[in-house]
């Protein structure tokens, strides 16, 4: 980890410390854990110390596991989890202007996108507010390569996804503690 990373947050789902953590009945964190990691990062950043097991257990309890974990986390599970922890959560679909509007005033965001290709997998990343309107994103190699961990706006991140051939799907914005 470099100095721009917070040691309490997860920036690589394939890291030895987390890759083998089970997700659902048949999944694992290295292949399918980006959703719970994004939720964990937002919770740890905004509420302080939280156990990974508590986050994964709550998402499972709320029906957030997709096909026994083999397809990761359901978007509905992310919504339910964030609302259970933070109350009102703003959401936006795949449109850049909506990401800009919904992320204003947010302390953290979760972005969901589809990798390149029609039948390619989905991926969640968390963005933690570092300065007003800007976020440091976690668990995304393209962001790290492009920005080196420097905070960017949610719409700048969305533009990067599009530039890399990925399709933005949904944004969740957490505005209060």
In sequence order, what E strands does 43-97 have? 89-92
Give 176's contacts (C-beta < 8 A, 6+ positions apart): 86, 87, 88, 107
Q: Residue 149: name the closest of 1, 32, 24, 42 by CA.
A: 1
For residue 86, the model assigns a pLDDT of 93
This prediction's pTM: 0.91
pLDDT one-digit tens code per residue, 54-107: 999 899 888 877 666 666 788 999 999 999 999 989 998 887 788 888 898 999
**Residue 29: pLDDT above 90?**
no
- N residues, the chain: 177
Q: How far apart are CA 133 and CA 86, in angstroms?
A: 19
3-state secondary structure of 100: helix
* Torsional sign, CA 76, 81, 84, 89: negative
Q: How far apart are CA 132 and CA 154, in angstroms?
A: 11
- Mean pLDDT, range 125-144, rounded to an integer: 92
Above pLDDT 70, what percent of the chain? 92
**Residue 4: pLDDT above 60?**
no
Mean of the per-residue pLDDT values of the chain: 87
For residue 25, the model assigns a pLDDT of 80
More confident residue, 177 or 81: 81
Give 82's contacts (C-beta < 8 A, 6+ positions apart): 39, 42, 89, 110, 172, 174
Task: Indicate the domain borders of the chain.
Answer: 22-174
Give 41's contacts (C-beta < 8 A, 6+ positions apart): 9, 10, 108, 126, 128, 138, 139
- CATH class for the region spanning 22-174: alpha beta
For residue 22, the model assigns a pLDDT of 83
């Amino acid at each position: 980890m470099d100095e721009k990373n917070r040691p309490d947050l997860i920036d690589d789902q394939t890291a030895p410390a987390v890759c083998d953590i089970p997700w659902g009945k048949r999944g694992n964190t290295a292949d399918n854990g980006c959703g719970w990691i994004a939720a964990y990062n937002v919770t740890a950043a905004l509420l302080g110390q939280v156990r990974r097991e508590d986050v994964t257990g709550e998402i499972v309890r709320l029906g957030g596991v997709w096909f026994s974990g083999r397809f990761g986390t359901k978007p509905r599970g992310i919504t339910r989890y964030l609302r259970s922890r933070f109350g009102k959560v703003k959401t936006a679909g795949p449109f850049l202007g909506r990401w800009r509007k919904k992320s204003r005033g947010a302390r953290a965001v979760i972005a969901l996108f589809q990798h390149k290709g029609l039948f390619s997998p989905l991926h969640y990343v968390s963005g933690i507010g570092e300065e007003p309107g800007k976020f440091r994103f976690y668990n995304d190699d393209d962001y790290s390569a492009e920005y080196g961990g420097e905070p960017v706006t949610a719409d700048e991140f969305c533009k990067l996804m599009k530039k890399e051939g990925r399709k933005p799907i949904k944004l969740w914005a957490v505005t209060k503690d």
